[in-house]
A and B are shown apart, each in its own frame.
Chain A
Amino acid sequence: EDQVTQSPEALRLQEGESSSLNCSYTVSGLRGLFWYRQDPGKGPEFLFTLYSAGEEKEKERLKATLTKKESFLHITAPKPEDSATYLCAVQFQGAQKLVFGQGTRLTINP
């Protein structure tokens, strides 16, 4: 069965302390991998789409990378406003729907 696993479940960092979140997937054919940010009480907010191994996307302090079996969301010098739950989702070949991971709850302490 196709699965999406995110790690760690929760991560607490000090402001300025860089780190990475992981999203691994077992899928026969990847069409796209998506990263979302979700703040408490709000809907997921789209961040990035990655389509093929080796691809990278950047937005402010965030950079997403993709290999054949996993994706990383790198956070460089994070600020407290980067605190949120980060979700990854996979779209399989021949399918339109997304399968979401359980998310990583990121807390940045000032």
Chain B
Amino acid sequence: DAGVIQSPRHEVTEMGQEVTLRCKPISGHNSLFWYRQTMMRGLELLIYFNNNVPIDDSGMPEDRFSAKMPNASFSTLKIQPSEPRDSAVYFCASSFRDLGLAGGRLARHEQYFGPGTRLTVT
């Protein structure tokens, strides 16, 4: 079974350009998360979706960042315009949230991560 798929794996762009990162979650998962990882700040949650609906975008740095999930098998994270401080590794993760056990211990919330996209903005 394929894991979380991200593309591209590496992206080098110039400041001011638009960048689009793509993610395909694990089939059957209904939650999707976008993270950013840097040496200084570690792994930070940017935004997450349940059933394709954005739930919490409080981690999105600013209006230059936007994320969409048009269907259960695809999501994008867009940065426009990009800046050098956006250079980082961006991870997508997915999980299965059992809505029938609303917060119960048996609900499985493990998140499975993709390989990441290393973004360099010059």
Partners in one complex: yes
Q: Are B109 and A102 in contact (CB under 8 A)?
A: no
User: B-side interface residues toward A, CB under 8 Å?
Assistant: 4, 31, 33, 42-45, 48, 50, 55-56, 91, 93, 97, 103, 105, 109-116
With A34-B110, A43-B113: A97-B105 Cβ-Cβ less than 8 Å: no
- A-B contact number at CB 8 A: 52
With A43-B4, A43-B114: A96-B43 Cβ-Cβ less than 8 Å: no
Q: Are B105 and A100 in contact (CB under 8 A)?
A: no
From A36, A41, A49, A103, give the contact of B109 (CB < 8 A): A49
Which size bracket describes the interface of A in this complex?
20 to 34
B interface: dominant SS:
strand
From A45, A49, A52, A94, give the contact of B103 (CB < 8 A): A94
| Most chain A beta-carbon neighbours within 10 Å: one of B43, B103, B115 | B43
- Look across to chain A and name the residue whose beta carbon is closest to the beta carbon of B6: A43
A7 at the interface (CB under 8 A from B): no
| Most chain B beta-carbon neighbours within 10 Å: one of A34, A100, A103 | A100
Q: Are A97 and B110 in contact (CB under 8 A)?
A: no
